[in-house]
Structure 1
Amino acid sequence: MNWDDLRLFLAVARTGSISAAARSLKVQHSTVSRRMSGLEKKLGVRLLERKKSGYELTPAGETLRLAASNIEHEIFDVDARLLGGDTKLSGELHIATTTAMASGVLMPIFSRFKELHPDVEMHIVCSNRNVSLVEREADIAIRQTNTPPKNLIGCQLGTMATAAYGNREYLGDLEARGAKPEWLGVSCCGFHRNWTKKASGVKRHGFYTDDVLLTMAALKTMPGLAYLPCADGDRDPELKRYAPPDPEMNLGLWLLYHPDLQHTVRVQLFRDYMLAAIGDIDHLLLGER
């Protein structure tokens, strides 16, 4: 079997879609479809079943998925071990975080690191989902969590506070009327979704966002409250806290990477730099104004 065929097959198995697999690997839809048909013909078995919700694996497909995943991890392991011995202060450094974090408090910090180390080629990968460091979607991930994965190593950079925010006009009207606040539905992460559900006491909302920046934009144009990290909410002059931060909603800000990269100089360099840089702004993360 051809590894490229298996790589395409794994993408389809994970996304459940030919189109999504093609986008993730930056190839044509027709290429993925043709290669999947060829792989099934070569093996003489059906690997995928078309359903209304997308493609599902047949028993033979599940067997192949397990085998292909093992092969993939072996390849990534070799690649990571070779990269782990890299002692250069140059080369690529892929950093995964969220758009709100990257465009807010982190971008000035990233820019300063680039000035200090011009030979390091920085790639900022923004997504609300947790990218896989094991599968080398990024070298380093900066995540908000209180339970970092046990298969990764790293350090806690700081602690991020959260509070409920609304636009100033809405909060003023709310206070004047003594009315019960409305809430926007937020689904950027499980934390905000659960906190919103607990505070609002309702199951459905009339408006939802899945990104912190979108939530901030929505709060400025419509009535309602939403939870935001204080580092984001406090820097927008159009928004105001509805209540002080709740310490029970504090989240650790972690820098994480795969153990095989712990001796890579540019990873160590970036980790130490981030520890110092975040230490200088920890009061902003904690919402201490």
Structure 2
Amino acid sequence: MTSSGRSSAHTPPSADDLLVLLAVGRSGRFTAAADSLGVNHTTVSRRIASLEKSLGGRVLVRISGGWELTDLGRHALAAAETVDSVVRGLVDPGGASLRGVVRISATDGFSAYIAAPAAVSVQERHPEVSVELVAATRRASQQRSGMDIEIVVGTPQVHRAEAVHLGEYGLGLYATPEYLEHHDTITTRRDLAGHPLVYFVESMLHVDDLDLARSVAVGDAPPSSDVPVMRSSVSSTNVFVHVEATRAGAGIGLLPCFMADRHHDLVRILRPEVSVTLAYWLVVRGETLRRPEVEVVVDALRAEVASRRDELMGRGE
């Protein structure tokens, strides 16, 4: 007779346990997995313990902000995805109906002008797919963030995730006609010295490329150099505040062209002398991208960016 420990190690894992692992592996949290499955936190914990007993090892390890799959967990997740696919096929043989919640973290401007229209296009084709947008300007998370998709500015340095280059967008200097009328003519970058700048709160900006954009556009060197020095005016962590403050006459705004060009009361200055190009990147975990509802959202985001390439660079009307 084999011992109970040896016997349990050879007991095939339950399909229910695998589906619970799939939910935790996708969200990184027991509570989120419980919500998606319609069970409680205790049931999720019990199912994971049962799966680990069957497989004879840990499938999850705790990290800051949630849970991460072990090597054994990632191997089990592949089997869980197969089970999930079979179950979906029984419920929806044609594979036509997608459902679920897809959570996206993106910058303010991208959320409003790219992600929102992309979400609408997904909804039109898949009414049961819900898209949640969380506006945030930050680096890509190195660990679980609770987001299915992250949109960041600048090349991300991530592990256990895929980074996809979506496209580029331009930044330029803008001011109102009234502001320009009441100040000396600005014809070169040197003329920017002393003017008020509307941009991010420098001490709270954690995205290297956005910080570099400030230096490239308006400088941070002493007045004796060839790089102009502008004084801070209205600063904010929200790019919509930058646009509206510039429209209100707070100074010269360093603004995304695809946002500023929408307003006829903003004039772009020193083009092409001051023109900064930044890149949007999409970050998603492999196990998350394999979810059909996530895949259609990613495709919609890429299509939206591609269709508005000129607008993003400031060449649209």
Q: Same fold (TM over 0.5)?
A: yes
Per-residue deviation at 1:76? Answer: 3.3
Alpha-carbon distance in 2 for matches of 1:245, 1:96: 31
Partner of 1:148: 156
The answer to whether the 8 A contact 2:68-2:144 is kept is: yes
Q: Across the two proteins, how many residue pairs are aligned to each other?
A: 220
Alpha carbons of structure 1 residues 118 and 134: separation in structure 2 relative to 1, 3 Å? farther
Tell me the secondary structure at the aligned position of residue 62 of structure 2.
Answer: helix
Tell me the secondary structure at the aligned position of residue 135 of structure 1.
Answer: coil
Alpha-carbon distance in 2 for matches of 1:278, 1:105: 7
Alpha-carbon distance in 2 for matches of 1:177, 1:248: 15
Aligned: 1:72 with 2:63: yes
Alpha-carbon distance in 1 for matches of 2:107, 2:186: 37
Alpha-carbon distance in 2 for matches of 1:155, 1:131: 12
Q: Deviations over 1:91-115 (max 9, x none)?
A: 1110111222212343222212222
**Larger-gyration structure (1/2):** 2
Q: Deviations over 1:162-201 (max 9, x none)?
A: 1111122212443658794413252254444443345154
Task: Give, as a single letter, the amino acid of the residue that structure 2 aligns with 1:183.
Answer: P
Aligned: 1:210 with 2:265: no
Per-residue deviation at 1:279? Answer: 1.3
Alpha-carbon distance in 2 for matches of 1:170, 1:285: 25
The answer to whether the 8 A contact 1:165-1:242 is kept is: yes
Tell me the secondary structure at the aligned position of residue 75 of structure 1.
Answer: strand
Q: Deviations over 1:106-149 (max 9, x none)?
A: 3222212222111112111111234637314200012221x222
Q: Deviations over 1:242-275 (max 9, x none)?
A: 1225697211222210133232212222222222
Alpha-carbon distance in 2 for matches of 1:220, 1:97: 24
Q: Percent identity?
A: 21
Partner of 2:254: 227
Aligned: 1:115 with 2:124: yes
Q: Deviations over 1:265-288 (max 9, x none)?
A: 122222222222221111111111
Per-residue deviation at 1:204? Answer: 5.2
Q: Deviations over 1:205-247 (max 9, x none)?
A: 2432222101111111124212111111111222121122569
Task: Give, as a single letter, the amino acid of the residue that structure 2 aligns with 1:217.
Answer: E
Partner of 2:100: 91
Partner of 1:274: 301
Partner of 1:17: none
Alpha carbons of structure 1 residues 138 and 131: separation in structure 2 relative to 1, 3 Å? farther
Aligned: 1:239 with 2:266: yes
Alpha-carbon distance in 1 for matches of 2:273, 2:170: 7
Task: Give, as a single letter, the amino acid of the residue that structure 1 aligns with 2:115.
Answer: L
The answer to whether the 8 A contact 1:164-1:225 is kept is: yes
Partner of 1:183: 196
The answer to whether the 8 A contact 2:169-2:279 is kept is: yes
Root mean square deviation, CA, Å = 3.2
Alpha carbons of structure 1 residues 138 and 174: separation in structure 2 relative to 1, 3 Å? same
1:44-83 alignment runs, 5 A limit = 71-72=62-63, 75-77=67-69, 82=77
Partner of 1:196: 214
Alpha carbons of structure 1 residues 195 and 278: separation in structure 2 relative to 1, 3 Å? closer
Tell me the secondary structure at the aligned position of residue 147 of structure 2.
Answer: coil
The answer to whether the 8 A contact 2:103-2:132 is kept is: yes
Q: Deviations over 1:34-76 (max 9, x none)?
A: xxxxxxxxxxxxxxxxxxxxxxxxxxxxxxxxxxx96237833
The answer to whether the 8 A contact 1:185-1:196 is kept is: no
Alpha carbons of structure 1 residues 247 and 283: separation in structure 2 relative to 1, 3 Å? farther
The answer to whether the 8 A contact 1:161-1:247 is kept is: no
The answer to whether the 8 A contact 2:137-2:152 is kept is: no
Q: TM-score, normalised by structure 1?
A: 0.65
The answer to whether the 8 A contact 2:198-2:250 is kept is: no
Alpha-carbon distance in 1 for matches of 2:273, 2:290: 38
